Structure 1
Amino acid sequence: MGPMALASYACDPAHSRGRRHPEPPAPTRNPFQRDRDRIIHSSAFRRLVYKTQVFLNHEGDLFRTRLTHSLEVAQLGRSIARALGLHEDLVEAIALAHDLGHTPFGHAGQDALNACLHEDDGPARDEPRGADEPHGGFEHNLQSLRVVDALEERYPAFDGLNLCFETREGILKHCSRANAEWLEAREPGGVGARFLRGHSPSLEAQLANVADEIAYNAHDIDDGVRSGLLTLEQLEAVELFDVFRREALAEHPALHGRRLLYETIRRMLSAQVYDVIDATRRALAAAGVRTLDDVRSRAPLLGFSPAMREASAALKRFLLVNLYRHPQVMDTTGRARRVVADLYRAYCADPRLLPPPRPGVALSLRRRVADYIAGMTDRFAIREHQRLTGERLFG
């Protein structure tokens, strides 16, 4: 079965808003395919294999990494995009790039770096902000955009990957007002504008965001059970999981252990995918959406039905209490935060430890340090911390 025809409200590469640096078209690929390929070949994408989600890289070979997570998001996104007549290549490009700016150690590293940039009391404290850097703090969505706009160094004529507007828009799914204003000043009417005008992104961008949520809920259950921190018995308290566990056992009474877990997760994923497809079709019809401009002028329309949204939220609450705040996870994330904070202080105290600054780019020392740390893998950050401090915080 061939690809489905594009819906009238989908992003059409023939009508893309284009790239910041004009380039001739590729002879065999549409612009969104070309973006996808540039992302896959980037250095930041390769590093995702050693950046982690909940469980750190040294804790086992079978837990999810940012790379495997991004692939799962892309698979779910393409499946839903095809059913809704959206552009599959664009959804895939956004999905593969959405975590490029994440720090080592998942959200623990991100939170630590954000705190350092907000509360810096070291040698870089009073240094003025550079013209080429965003406002204070660390936003991983904005950092992902920085990776594809500025930090990748692959082409002779420009920094970054020079991706299409539509791909960049999807990567920047959240942004503070201060940074949206900074982006707008540098690129009027660009990817920061919708945050100032209250507009929505494309349905492809909305879909990548929802596919991200579906993917991480499912794989955190899997990784949580694999780690021994969650049990199937505990998960019986989660209706979204238990309804499909009971359904699987009704069809296969002998199922147990990992096979039961996998079959339950498979059914749960399928139900969420079909729910998004059905709920979105109803929302588009009710809103009378016909064009991409209609999509942008309305509140987000792609997502779960109210019942599935509440079921997904209940699952997230369960994971927060029982997995993300598990004492073993909290101990690990505490050490991870310390690694990031110690590295930040060490580089600010002695900038000679950093790679040389890029010529012609006006960045403060704080932002150079943040860019360098954000690009690290878990294992590189651990080794660098041990080299600079003499402490061994991880096995």
Structure 2
Amino acid sequence: MAAPYASDPARARGRRIAEEESAFRSCFQRDRDRIIHCSAFRRLKHKTQVFVEHEGDYFRTRLTHSIEVAQVARTIAGALGLNQELTEGVALAHDLGHTPFGHTGEDALNALMSPYGGFDHNAQAVRIVTSLERHYAAFDGLNLTWETLEGIAKHNGPVVGDLPYALADYNAVHDLELHTHASAEAQVAALSDDIAYNNHDLLDGLHAGLFTQEEITGLPIVGDAFAKVDAAWPGLERSRRKHEALRRVFGVMVSDVIDRSRHLLNESGARDVQEIRNLGRPVIRFSDAVWADLQDIRAFLFTRMYRAPSVMAKRREVTQAVDELFPFFLANTNWLPEEWRHDIEAARDEVALARIVADYIAGMTDRFALQEHARLIAGR
């Protein structure tokens, strides 16, 4: 049964461009399906989290990560009586705006775009679903509901101060109430992202040989999970031991979020989704104890994985690729694909051109970015 503060598709604020709604899908189901079928979602298959796409088929990509986030988000939303389709749609869309090479690529592109308004992957996701996806006859973008757009824009919390240009441009014509928190569904998507990457970064780091099972048994939550597996299955082969332990870590995080959030939602007294937005604080959270434990895990991963020498060497390589592709395309827009020609001709100044180039580079996969760098720059 839906909670009173759940987002109700029958009361959704609608789409910017009016459409006849489906006879057999709710508006939030339709949003989710449009996200799954869009080009940017398919490209996530060849964009990675920490490692570069060609380094191994085992490592998570943005696509597998997004699917994992959506699975966790549906579980939590269902347990809390929230709308699962809206939660899933926001979860599936949350990484659409990521550049090639993960946060390394985003950092490089943000620095390059600093004279032109900067670059932010959450804002870019809004730009993709409202403008850059161009498959429908009646509109640019996916024409998602207000609730899904709100969730993509501010699932991490209110967006205040100087807005990223991609978000400011859209918000000027379709107010997403960026000063408030998002729905509980969008907040679930945000915490599910944390749960997924905390778990799979441990698994990917083990697989990459950046640390050992013995080293992570000293971490909170993780050590207890390994101890329980060892007690139940002494001498279990290492591969099974690893998976058995880390799925328990997953379970601890999910259960903690459900328990803590259920308490916060009940304590809020919210009678509808708008009251959730206006509370001034998030209602989907870890407990303080688990949150503190997760900070220790993240600190370990930062040192041993995200700043590992092999990862840093690759970061320098891919940063150079982005650093050199951007000025090349800015000075040689004729090298952009034919389908970008109309936007280039409509650009009024260098700022507009820079944003087009940023859109193009941000949409690249890891492999394509490296191939284009080799073809256009390194090979010359």
Q: Which of 97, 100, 120 pairs up with 1:101?
A: 97
The verdict on how the C-alpha distance between 1:194 and 1:390 changes in structure 2, with shifts beyond 3 A counting, is closer
Aligned to 2:221: 240
Q: Which of 304, 308, 312 pairs up with 1:322?
A: 304
The equivalences for 1:39-188 within 5 A come to: 39-118=35-114, 136-173=117-154, 175=159, 177-179=161-163, 182-187=169-174
Aligned to 2:336: 354
Q: Is the 8 A contact 1:99 1:141 kept in 2?
A: yes
Residue-by-residue CA offset, 1:88-138 (whole Å, 9 max, x unaligned): 11111111111111000000000000010115xxxxxxxxxxxxxxx6100
Q: Is the 8 A contact 2:160 2:178 kept in 1?
A: no
Mapped to 2, the partners of 1:147 and 1:280 lie a distance apart of 31
Secondary structure, counterpart of 1:329 in structure 2: helix
The equivalences for 1:4-15 within 5 A come to: 5-15=1-11
Aligned to 1:268: 249
Percent identity over the alignment?
Answer: 47
Q: TM-score, normalised by structure 1?
A: 0.90
Q: Is the 8 A contact 2:100 2:369 kept in 1?
A: yes
> Which deviates further from its counterpart, 225-234 or 352-361?
352-361
Mapped to 2, the partners of 1:181 and 1:336 lie a distance apart of 29
Aligned to 2:18: 22
Residue-by-residue CA offset, 1:273-321 (whole Å, 9 max, x unaligned): 1111110111112222222122111110111111111111111111101
Aligned to 1:126: none
> Which deviates further from its counterpart, 281-290 or 368-377?
281-290
Q: Which of 356, 370, 374 pairs up with 1:382?
A: 370
> Which deviates further from its counterpart, 80-89 or 178-187?
178-187
Residue-by-residue CA offset, 1:54-108 (whole Å, 9 max, x unaligned): 1111100111000000000000000111100011111111111111110000000
Q: Is the 8 A contact 2:6 2:185 kept in 1?
A: yes
Q: Is the 8 A contact 1:280 1:302 kept in 2?
A: yes
The verdict on how the C-alpha distance between 1:58 and 1:184 changes in structure 2, with shifts beyond 3 A counting, is closer
Q: Is the 8 A contact 1:66 1:99 kept in 2?
A: yes
Q: Is the 8 A contact 1:357 1:368 kept in 2?
A: no
Deviation at 1:185, TM superposition (A): 2.6
Q: CA RMSD in A?
A: 1.6
Mapped to 1, the partners of 2:171 and 2:133 lie a distance apart of 22
Secondary structure, counterpart of 2:342 in structure 1: coil
Deviation at 1:360, TM superposition (A): 5.7
Secondary structure, counterpart of 1:172 in structure 2: helix
Q: TM-score, normalised by structure 2?
A: 0.93
Q: Is there any run of 5+ residues in structure 1 with no aligned partner, and where?
A: 120-134
The verdict on how the C-alpha distance between 1:391 and 1:259 changes in structure 2, with shifts beyond 3 A counting, is farther
Mapped to 2, the partners of 1:237 and 1:139 lie a distance apart of 35
Letter paired with 2:78:
R
Letter paired with 2:374:
Q
Deviation at 1:258, TM superposition (A): 1.5
Q: Which of 297, 305, 319 pairs up with 1:337?
A: 319
Letter paired with 1:27:
A
> Which deviates further from its counterpart, 136-145 or 353-362?
353-362
Mapped to 2, the partners of 1:271 and 1:320 lie a distance apart of 21
Q: Is the 8 A contact 2:110 2:119 kept in 1?
A: yes
Q: Is the 8 A contact 1:343 1:385 kept in 2?
A: yes
Mapped to 1, the partners of 2:169 and 2:133 lie a distance apart of 21
> Which deviates further from its counterpart, 57-66 or 231-240?
231-240
Mapped to 1, the partners of 2:28 and 2:268 lie a distance apart of 27
Aligned to 1:200: 181
Mapped to 1, the partners of 2:133 and 2:168 lie a distance apart of 23
The verdict on how the C-alpha distance between 1:181 and 1:141 changes in structure 2, with shifts beyond 3 A counting, is closer
